Amino acid sequence: MKTHLTHLPRKRFDHIDIAKGISIILVALHHSYLSELAAVISYRMSVFRMPLFFFMSGIFFSYAAGFKPFIVKRAEALLKPYFVIAIAVTLVVFLFEGEYRYRLFRFLYTNGTIIERPWTPLWFLPHLFAVHLFSYIVNRYTPYRKLSIRYKWLVLFVMLVVGLFVVDFYSNPVISSLAGTYVHVWGLPFSIDILLVSSVYFLAGSLLREQVKTFEVHFYKLVTAIVGLLTILLFFEVSIDLVMRSVGSHVLALIGSVLGIYVVVGLSKLIEKTVWLKRILLAAGGASLVILIFHVFIETQFLALFEIKDWDHLPRFLASLTFFLLCVGIPVGMNWVAKRSTLLALLMLPKSQRLAETLPRAKASPA
């Protein structure tokens, strides 16, 4: 009997999924009101927050498929949920306000500096699509894939240097007319002006795939990395703010991003041994798409309710903490529901995740 291995879910590495959970929680935490309690540190953590997201996204990157199947698969996973939300939000605005061009054009520009809150985090989806496409082209249609590892790292270094110059070039906004309104815009559609920088971390994740899969914690290395990262965050003005096209202290930012990624992967490997925390972060990692899309919207609604009710007896910190937990927890529940709803799964989830709920787990073959 033939087994259709192409439909079986790939082998899971819990520490990688845990790291993805930490990554999306860091993003949600930065966008929450909790971050105001340590605004400077939260901003400086951008030095590894988005690089980590791109690095983890690149670990399972594959360019084995043909161009058309690759594009279709990536578009379904990344562009489909983006435009589903964009159309839904635009329709709601049209029904209640009678205007749609202004909001629709903002979504069509696919740039985080122009998409209005609470939907700003959506910029990541079309940009990640562009990163996948760029990385596919680099691997399939250039000599890059035939290079030795040493020269591949050299190529990535050159890409990073050029990319940082491009980011600096677009660090000043351009005033553009959008549906009769003048707006400040940083960068290009699909955020392709930051493509070289984000693709470096993505391709680095692809190059280090096996090292991350088989990662083992070395206590002294991890402690040294943590101390180094904390030193950079506490005492230096560093940042890799890709949304606002701002990179502070280029060399220290690069070091900080590498240390941050190493620390998160190391901590993920340790957390793997703690059952309850492992389950929480695995759930967050599995729902990272839904958390990314809805976390700001959910917290905004709760904060608006908080202001309306004027609950002065509830400490602001406790309220912010509660709302942050809800803005992560509710999307995890939404993701669980979506996987079990044919319509929601069709609208929001990639085909691979929909199949994962219906197919039986692969059984190990007898020796």
Q: Tell me if 24 is assigned to some domain.
A: no
Q: Tell me if 293 is assigned to some domain.
A: no
Q: Tell me if 281 is assigned to some domain.
A: no
**Structural domain tally of the chain?**
1
Q: Tell me if 361 is assigned to some domain.
A: no
Q: Tell me if 26 is assigned to some domain.
A: no
Question: pTM to 2 decimals?
Answer: 0.89
Q: Tell me if 76 is assigned to some domain.
A: yes
Q: Which two tokens stand for residue 130?
A: 């562009």
Q: Tell me if 119 is assigned to some domain.
A: yes
Q: What is the pLDDT along the chain (367 residues), one digit of tens a residue?
A: 444 444 445 567 999 999 999 999 999 999 988 888 888 999 999 999 999 999 999 999 999 999 999 999 999 999 999 999 999 999 998 888 877 777 888 898 888 888 888 999 999 999 999 999 999 999 999 999 999 999 999 999 999 999 999 998 887 766 665 555 666 667 888 999 999 999 999 999 999 999 999 999 999 999 999 999 999 999 999 999 998 888 988 999 999 999 999 999 999 999 999 999 999 999 999 999 999 999 999 988 888 877 655 555 567 778 788 889 999 999 999 999 999 888 888 888 887 666 544 444 444 333 3
Contact in structure between 27 and 121 (CB atoms under 8 Å):
yes
Domain residue limits at 124: 61-207
Q: Tell me if 79 is assigned to some domain.
A: yes
